[in-house]
């Protein structure tokens, strides 16, 4: 290969790399705005032409929802939840974006946001997702469900280790603990940890782990295996901005 050919190949590679960087600049800028906690700038970028071309519609709407929340724009935030729920996306589904935020709201006992997400999920989620979401609401927020049998019926249908399986065991642990059935509660929390670790979903992981830390012992084999320093999208919200204030009623 001649020197001229090598130079042409190198120049072509540099040109391609430069083009890719320029094309991806809006995404890099959006990520930078979130990292700097400059949410107003993030909103401006997300509403610009560059984001429209580079981000999928669902990803753009997800980031807009997060930016509105982080910027404290409550009206726009709630409107964005509704928009996501009622939009048919070619790639991805609305429920997969809304569900983690719904459980984040339940965990923080933020009734208004939880109600908004629950209503949104009822517009776009499948029946099983809705049934589990409603069970979680009754146990974690309004304390209206005390029947462990209902949870056991769902747990018996579990066919794989995933977030929903972990959540059901976590909810069972909460109910058992409330009934002072400590050993049964710890076994449920242990199973929750196993499922959360397997699914790499850590929203309720620390909560379940704390029960075993406080009341359990080394016989709980799945305890403490995961590196929960992995930061999910919801974790970032908690780290960089705030946790919504808990209701005091």
Range with the poorest average pLDDT among 12-21, 95-104, 188-197: 12-21
- The tokens describing 211, both together, are 């029960």
State how far the Cα of 85 lies from the Cα of 97, in Å rounded to an integer.
Answer: 9
Looking at residue 137, its pLDDT comes to 96
54 three-class SS: helix
Residue 138 has pLDDT above 60, yes or no: yes
Contact 132, 164 (CB under 8 A): yes
Residue 237 has pLDDT above 70, yes or no: no
Query: Residue ranges of the alpha helices (H) in the chain?
Result: 3-23, 25-35, 39-46, 49-54, 57-70, 74-85, 94-107, 111-124, 127-140, 148-155, 163-178, 182-199, 205-215, 233-240
Residues of the chain with pLDDT > 90, as a percent, come to: 49
Residues of the chain with pLDDT > 70, as a percent, come to: 77
First-to-final CA distance of the chain: 77
Q: What mean pLDDT is reported for the chain?
A: 82
Mean pLDDT within 73-86: 96
Mean pLDDT within 157-162: 83
**pTM to 2 decimal places:** 0.80
Mean pLDDT within 165-182: 94
- The tokens describing 10, both together, are 């190198």
Residue 229 has pLDDT above 50, yes or no: no
Looking at residue 12, its pLDDT comes to 56
Report pLDDT digits (tens) over 112-127.
999 999 999 999 999 9
Range with the poorest average pLDDT among 10-19, 63-72, 75-84, 146-155: 10-19
- DSSP conformation class of 243: P
- The tokens describing 2, both together, are 């001649």
Looking at residue 95, its pLDDT comes to 96
Q: What is the CA radius of gyration of the chain?
A: 22
State how far the Cα of 86 lies from the Cα of 121, in Å rounded to an integer.
Answer: 10
Mean pLDDT within 46-73: 90
Looking at residue 102, its pLDDT comes to 96
Nearest to 46 by CA among 64, 71, 65: 64
Backbone phi, psi, residue 232, to 5°:
-85, 175
């Amino acid at each position: 290969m001649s020197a001229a050919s090598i130079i042409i190949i190198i120049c072509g590679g540099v040109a391609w790399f430069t083009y890719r960087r320029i094309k991806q600049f809006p995404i890099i800028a959006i990520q930078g705005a979130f990292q700097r906690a400059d949410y107003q700038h993030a909103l401006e970028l997300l509403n610009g032409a560059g984001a429209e071309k580079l981000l999928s519609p669902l990803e753009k709407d997800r980031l807009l929802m997060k930016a509105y929340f982080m910027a404290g724009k409550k009206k726009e935030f709630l409107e964005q939840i509704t928009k996501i729920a009622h939009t048919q996306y070619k790639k991805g589904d609305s429920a997969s974006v809304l569900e983690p935020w719904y459980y984040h709201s339940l965990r923080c006992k933020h009734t208004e946001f939880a109600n908004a997400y629950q209503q949104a999920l009822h517009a776009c989620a499948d029946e099983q997702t809705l049934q589990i979401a409603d069970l979680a609401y009754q146990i974690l927020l309004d304390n209206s469900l005390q029947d462990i049998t209902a949870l056991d019926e769902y747990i018996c249908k579990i066919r794989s280790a995933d977030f929903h399986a972990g959540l059901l065991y976590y909810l069972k642990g909460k109910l058992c603990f409330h009934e002072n059935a400590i050993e049964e509660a710890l076994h449920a929390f242990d199973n929750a940890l196993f499922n959360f670790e397997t699914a790499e979903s850590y929203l309720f992981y620390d909560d379940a782990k704390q029960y075993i830390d406080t009341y359990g012992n080394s016989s709980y084999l799945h305890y403490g295996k995961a590196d929960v320093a992995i930061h999910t999208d919801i974790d970032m919200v908690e780290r960089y901005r705030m946790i919504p204030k808990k209701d005091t009623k």
